[in-house]
Structure 1
């Protein structure tokens, strides 16, 4: 079932165990200045998202965009699509703000916070694609409860997909995490395939991983 949940802000008591390490120190004066001067203009208030929804307007979401390279490349390739980037770390957000200024990008909005808090506040059936690229695998067994991908999370995402052909794309280079996701979708009967999409764009993290000889899996998950 898809419904708007309780409204959360960054100052509210967290509902979820963090799926990220708590570090958010900005590196360099220039990044601090970008955050202070530009973030407000590109910040998304989840309660205002309906302003951007229309039959002819595609919305795509990237959760945990890291340094922002994938988000920016997508935005440049698809100028008529609105991309919403969700990231907890301000250094990555500063990178995106810098690129927005450099390339005069008009189709990116940003949410600085836990993506699950964003998702609980936005309507159902609005995103054509949701990207979750290389989330932290939390490899130690005692930390598995902190993994972002869970059945609850997948169902939350699936409720936000616009149509039956809309997709959630999850990529990981961690073998155990990939097996965990595969078993999760198979056991729950969620429609999915394991393959790299035709329009795949390499991320900075993926290139570092490939240099270490690591392969990765892509899960395309449907509504």
Structure 2
């Protein structure tokens, strides 16, 4: 089993199921997920993945969201950007069922869903193949002994630096200031990423094309102000720290 830089065995941490799905949602999950699921080749679990093969057509722009929660953000972005192709990662079955409902209602064919850990798939994607990457309100893993479980780590930043095209955007959001500082520190420490904030209050303002998530709405209702962080992948050759 692979390990991170501190020797922790790398595996998925987090819930995979919540309350039992209603019968119609369970049927939707069983019937729709095979249509929207990421068609990973079974013969070689480590073989490189071609985005064109995953969508059955050339891919001009690939957008990725890791941990899409209830799927409202991913579905809205896919509807607004029909020319792009999207891959959403979410191991939580209830969240996947929610996204599938949005995809079916809007008849969105530009989305592929992977109901499991993102990292093994991301590691198989080609260099400079991703145009935009979203990580919105990830699990904060607040206890210090659990910080190694957070998605943003030095090894993850190296992976994202490899995957993102020059000029591609990385968007991160959190309603926990400790986690926001952690993510900001790790991203800005990597020479491949430029923080796009220009004014002190920029990280409190969502981007112009922002789509509010269900979790975000609850946080705001409870008085928690989210932080919105945007980064650009520097051109290769200018990312030497």
* TM score, norm. by length of structure 2: 0.79
1:219 aligns with 2:222: no
Partner of 1:57: 60
| 1:207 counterpart residue number | 217
1:191 aligns with 2:201: no
CA distance in 2 between partners of 1:15 and 1:60 (Å): 28
Alpha-carbon spacing, 1:178–1:114, altered in 2? closer, same or farther (3 Å): same
The match for 2:182 is: 180
When the two chains are superposed, the root-mean-square deviation of aligned CA atoms in Å is 2.2
Aligned position for 1:107: 110
Distance in 2 between residues matched to 1:203 and 1:102, nearest whole Å: 18
Q: Map 1:145-184; keep pairs closer than 5 Å.
A: 145-162=148-165, 164-184=166-186
Contact 1:168/1:221 (CA < 8 Å) preserved in 2? yes
Cα pair 1:26 1:90 within 8 Å, conserved: no
Taking structure 1 as reference, are residues 191 and 111 closer, same or farther at Cα in structure 2, changes over 3 Å only?
Answer: same
Equivalent residue in structure 2 for 1:38, among 32, 36, 40:
32
Deviations 1:111-157 (A, max 9, x none): 11101111011112111101000000111111111111111112212
2: CA distance, partners of 1:204 / 1:138: 20
What do residues 28-83 of structure 1 show as CA deviations (whole Å, max 9, x unaligned)?
Answer: 111211121111111113435233474x7211111110111001111111122111
- More divergent stretch after superposition (202-211 vs 89-98): 89-98
Q: Which runs of 5+ in 1 are unaligned?
A: 1-5, 7-13
CA distance in 2 between partners of 1:30 and 1:63 (Å): 26
Provide the rounded CA distance (Å) in 2 between the counterparts of 1:26 and 1:81.
33
Match of 2:79 in 1: 76
Match of 2:88 among 85, 88, 104: 85
Q: Of 5, 11, 21, which residue of structure 1 is paired with 2:15? A: 21
Relative to structure 1, the CA distance from residue 109 to residue 186 in structure 2 (aligned partners, 3 Å threshold; closer, same or farther) is: closer
Equivalent pair of 2:174/2:228 in contact (CA under 8 Å):
yes
- How many residue pairs are counted as aligned between the two chains? 209
Provide the rounded CA distance (Å) in 2 between the counterparts of 1:62 and 1:169. Answer: 9
Task: Give the 3 Å change call, closer, same or farther, for CA 167–101 of structure 1 in structure 2.
Answer: same
Q: Which structure has the higher relative contact order (CA within 8 Å, separation 6+)?
A: 1
Unaligned runs of 5+ in 2: 3-7, 41-48, 198-202, 234-241
Q: Is the 8 A contact 1:124 1:161 kept in 2?
A: yes
Report the TM-score when normalising by structure 1.
0.85
**Residues 98 and 23 of structure 1: CA distance in aligned 2, closer, same or farther (over 3 Å):** closer
